[in-house]
Amino acid sequence: MRTIGLIGGMSWESTAQYYRLLNELTRERLGGLHSAKCVLYSVDFAEIERLQAAGRWAEAGEVLAGAARALAAAGADLLLICTNTMHKVADQVAAAVDVPLLHLADTTAEAVRAAGLGRVGLLGTAFTMEQDFYRGRLAGHGLEVLVPDAPGRALVHRVIYQELCLGVVREESRAAYREVIAGLVARGAEGVVLGCTEIELLVGPADSPVPLFPTTALHARAAVDAALTADDAALADDDAALADG
């Protein structure tokens, strides 16, 4: 298995989900006691959030680029930025290393297209919902992207930073997100992209009348697919045969 490099900590709540999913999916694919080969560089999110709020994206990008260089030096064969918002600096991070970067928006768009959908709602931080770095990437795959109205965007953003990033999950916020999702569906959304890695801590399929696209889970699955080779599948078959005696 190739080694997966994780640029995490934004927030660590969702990075923990990445780690869990990568290992569960690897065990699912290979069986037995197999787990994911991965290395993690976890940044201080308070530092990154200050740079985001100040619009100092190039500086934030250099922090992540430094993390990418450290992961490459540690033996990572592919990289994940474990946050949707910081894909704003994905090109800067990718340019810092020779290791391929698996772009979260691309894996999400591929899942939406595979489901046969063309118009999706997008929930995320204000940066993700309002700026073009993410919406434009989805649109580049032929998708029409809808975002909530201004009050809805403010609510979604506030819950992410003031609750979910701190590990706080409130039923009132789940109900509010359901209303935002219903509004997107009423405007024609055929599915909804959970475009912030923390949102999956709050809402799931039961909270939406249309399919949800959980970006953390999709990104993790794509990473495991990219990390495994035909030889890995053969190893799993050999292990199964040994287990059977």
Active site residues: 83, 196
CA angle 134, 136, 139 (to 5 degrees): 115
Cβ atoms 92, 62 nearer than 8 A: yes
Measure the CA–CA gap between 11 and 24, rounded to whole angstroms. 20
What does R_g of the chain's alpha carbons equal in angstroms?
A: 18
